[in-house]
């Protein structure tokens, strides 16, 4: 089964970085392109060859005609190649697509990021539009929407999907963390990952996680940074003009199926409480994917004041333009939360994205409750 991806890489006019977590389909998209040279750094022999003698890469570039397309898959494995990529752009007029699942080594290792000579694109798990009429939100919350996983689910092989998700977890630990030498204490990181998965979609208390994992708070923060930099998750920070108060963010894994694999919950249906966190995780992920694919400059945060909270603030040019509360059940948004929110943001549209409501309705507070599809559409057109 093929999925029509929203990220279009056909006939790129300029060089491009494309980053995304493992199994989001980067290699599949790249293999469909008509490239003059394809360098697969997932091939151990090719990686070793170019790591030992990077100039071989330049020697393969030199005979190519001006404007030719060159693809380097998993470029972070041999970052020095980026120096030759820059030469290829400037001296030979070549175009490059450079993929990676771990930009951490590039960002923190002083690699040549080409100084604006390349676009920075992202590939995510599948969106609703990419899956099409076969999309079922209950399946997305249970198994996630990675392309390989979705194919197994749509083929009716849930056991194979679960096995792939479990292997994703172990492969990530082995290849992304251990092989990239991001931490020397892989056992402590694995304990942390289990605890972090249990905190998915919740306020992160670094000191509590520190005690549970028996590592310093500074190490916990570094471990979360590893998850962010390897694209396995993202922080969502509270909206506040005072930077010093941004001390208690939420953290969301990039895919519901992956976080459930880490939690060892794949064979169990989500509990009502778990479904709420999963729905919020999926919804924020869907907005993030649409933002990136539609090249919007938006950022996301959440609002919290005391015990009052709204899940998502969508911001453009630093100013909120839409607020969304995610509800997996039929529970109402409390009236005093709405009143306080409207005092802080008197002209900001606030809607409830509902997992359960089949049609729109309006609360006594004036807030609209929208089925999740309409809530997503509201963001896209705002």
Instruction: Indicate the pLDDT class of residue 244, thresholds 50, 70 and 90.
Output: very low
Contact 47, 41 (CB under 8 A): yes
Give residue-wise pLDDT tens across range 174-198. 666 766 555 667 788 888 999 999 9
Task: For the chain, give the mean pLDDT.
Answer: 90
Q: What are phi and psi of 368, to 5 degrees?
A: -85, 135
Task: Look up the pTM and report it.
Answer: 0.93
77-107: burial string, b at 16+ Cβ within 10 Å, e else: bbbebbebbbebbeebebbbbbbbbbbbbbe
- Around Cβ 271, how many Cβ atoms within 10 Å? 11
Give residue-wise pLDDT tens across range 29-83. 999 999 999 999 989 999 999 999 999 999 999 999 999 999 999 998 898 999 9
- Which domains are assigned to the chain? 15-122 (3.40.50.300), 128-270 (1.10.10), 296-381 (3.40.1350)
Q: Is 30 strand, coil or helix?
A: helix
Q: Nearest to residue 17, comparing CAs of 87, 92, 102, 80? A: 102
Q: Nearest to residue 292, comparing CAs of 145, 143, 119? A: 119
Distance CA 18, CA 299 (A): 19
Give residue-wise pLDDT tens across range 315-328. 999 899 999 999 99
Give residue-wise pLDDT tens across range 271-304. 999 999 999 999 999 999 999 999 999 999 999 9
């Amino acid at each position: 089964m093929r999925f029509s991806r929203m990220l279009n890489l056909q006939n790129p006019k300029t060089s491009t970085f494309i980053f995304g977590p493992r199994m989001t389909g980067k290699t599949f998209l790249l293999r469909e392109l008509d490239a003059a040279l394809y360098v697969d750094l997932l091939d151990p022999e090719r990686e070793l060859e170019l790591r030992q003698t990077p100039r071989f890469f330049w020697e393969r570039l030199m005979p190519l005609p001006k404007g030719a397309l060159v693809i380097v898959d998993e470029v972070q494995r041999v970052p020095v190649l980026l120096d030759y990529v820059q030469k290829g752009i400037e001296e030979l007029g070549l175009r490059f697509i450079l993929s990676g699942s771990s930009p951490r080594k590039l960002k923190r290792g002083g690699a040549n990021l080409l100084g604006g000579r390349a676009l920075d694109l992202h590939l995510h798990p599948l969106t609703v539009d990419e899956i099409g009429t076969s999309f079922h939100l209950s399946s997305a919350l249970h198994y996630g929407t990675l392309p390989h996983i979705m194919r197994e689910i749509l083929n009716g092989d849930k056991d194979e999907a679960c096995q792939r998700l479990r292997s994703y977890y172990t492969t990530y630990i082995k290849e992304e963390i251990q092989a990239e030498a991001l931490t020397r204490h892989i056992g402590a990181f694995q304990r942390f990952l289990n605890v972090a998965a249990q905190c998915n979609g919740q306020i992160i208390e670094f000191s509590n996680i520190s005690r549970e994992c028996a590592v310093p708070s500074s190490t916990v923060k570094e471990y979360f940074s590893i998850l962010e930099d390897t694209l396995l998750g993202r922080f969502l920070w509270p909206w506040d003009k005072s930077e010093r108060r941004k001390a208690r963010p939420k953290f969301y894994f990039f895919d519901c199926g992956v976080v459930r694999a880490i939690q060892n919950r794949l064979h169990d249906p989500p509990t009502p409480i778990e479904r709420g966190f999963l729905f919020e995780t999926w919804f924020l992920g869907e907005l993030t994917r649409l933002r990136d694919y539609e090249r919007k400059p938006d950022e996301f945060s959440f609002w919290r004041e005391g015990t009052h909270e709204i899940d998502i603030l969508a911001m453009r040019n630093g100013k909120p333009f839409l607020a969304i509360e995610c509800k997996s059940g039929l529970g109402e948004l409390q009236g005093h939360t709405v009143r306080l929110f409207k005092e802080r943001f008197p002209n900001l549209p606030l809607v409830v994205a509902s997992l359960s409501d089949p049609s729109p309705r309006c609360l006594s507070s004036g807030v609209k409750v929208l089925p999740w599809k309409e809530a997503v559409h509201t963001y896209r057109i705002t």
